[in-house]
Amino acid sequence: MDLVDIIDFKWLMASEGLRVHVERLQNDPAYALACLDRADASPHHAVRESARRLRCGLGLSGT
């Protein structure tokens, strides 16, 4: 998982009005899942696609 993907997700979520803590996203699976679940509910394809990539990159796609 490249840091640039995480930062991209952070800014996409900011455009949705949600703040993402990058370090916590990388180290707290429950927090990451909550952020990704909120992104999955976005009406914007770019946000949902970024969340999909992060799920795989963070190893959370099977949860």
Asked if 19 contacts 13 with a C-beta cutoff of 8 angstroms, the reply is yes
Would residue 25 count as lying in a domain? yes
- CA dihedral 24→39→53→21, nearest 10 degrees, is -20
d(CA 7, CA 3): 6
Would residue 7 count as lying in a domain? yes
What residues make up the domain containing 15? 3-57
Asked if 7 contacts 21 with a C-beta cutoff of 8 angstroms, the reply is no
pLDDT over 80 (residue 1): no
Task: Express each pLDDT in 7-62 by its tens digit.
Answer: 999 999 999 999 999 999 999 999 999 999 999 999 999 999 999 999 999 999 86
Total number of domains in the chain: 1
